[in-house]
Amino acid sequence: MLEELKKEVYEANMKLPEYGLVTFTWGNVSGIDREKGLFVIKPSGVDYDKLRPEDMVVMNLAGEKVEGDLNPSSDTKTHVVLYNRFPDIGGVVHTHSPWATSWAQAGRDIPSYGTTHADYIYGRVPCVRNLTAEELEEYEKNTGVLIADHFEAHGLDHIAVPCVLCKNHGPFTWGKDAHEAVHNAVVLEEVAKMAARCEWINPHVEETPQCLQDKHYLRKHGANAYYGQK
Ligand SMILES: [Zn+2]
């Protein structure tokens, strides 16, 4: 079942160690078939060098396992909530990539300091608060709820801001499919690294002027985009 999607999600998972975004097994990628309402996710705690496409686990949007011998990633319930609340995304990634995780641990949004950031992410990368002790009883599910509620409460567009930091934890990213979600995870890590260095070099650095952020984001996205080839 969903053999093509399993292969795609497997390949997207294998990109995480390739790009240096994961240590040991700390990361997971999923991808969804919206017509069938099923998504495919990495199994929990399997080493990347032992991972095979057929090990991918098929889940439904109620969070039930539909196919697979292995247990799905422990973060699966977060993916379920993100797919339900953001109905136009096709892939989700979670890592503990060191630069993005450093901002998460510091509990700070990543300010938009340059056009690399502005090309992919419109405005700051938000850092959501810690879950309460009560919310932690359903940790993974409530992580997803907290992210989606934060975007709603702050009027953030999850397509224009395809990433988030969870305080004291790490980043989640998403995209139109699993590969784009991984691409955004790589971009986020680079942007996080550059922003940290930027503050070391100049502790008084200011965010990119809004008009320059707009120029860069809007030339690649939206109705009047003109970046790349037609
Ligand atoms: Zn994690």
CA of 56 to the centre of ligand 1 (A): 19
Catalytic residue (one of 139, 157, 214, 227): 227
What pLDDT does residue 96 have? 96
CA of 83 to the centre of ligand 1 (A): 18
Q: How many residues does the chain have?
A: 230
Q: At 26, list the tokens.
A: 């700390």
**What are 31's strand-pairing partners?**
40, 91
Q: In terms of pTM, does the model score above 0.75?
A: yes
Question: How far apart are the C-alpha atoms of 196 and 126, rounded to whole Å?
Answer: 15
What does pLDDT average to over the chain? 96
- DSSP E strands in the chain: the ranges are 27-33, 38-41, 57-60, 65-67, 91-95, 127-128, 163-166, 170-175
Domains of the chain, first to last: 3-221 (3.40.225.10)
What pLDDT does residue 206 have? 97
Decide if 48 is catalytic.
no
CA of 202 to the centre of ligand 1 (A): 31
Low-confidence ranges of the chain (pLDDT < 70): 230
CA of 155 to the centre of ligand 1 (A): 25
CA distances from 107 to 29, 53, 129, 136 (A): 24, 36, 8, 18
CA of 29 to the centre of ligand 1 (A): 12
CA of 222 to the centre of ligand 1 (A): 32
Decide if 10 is catalytic.
no
Catalytic residue (one of 119, 177, 217, 226): 119
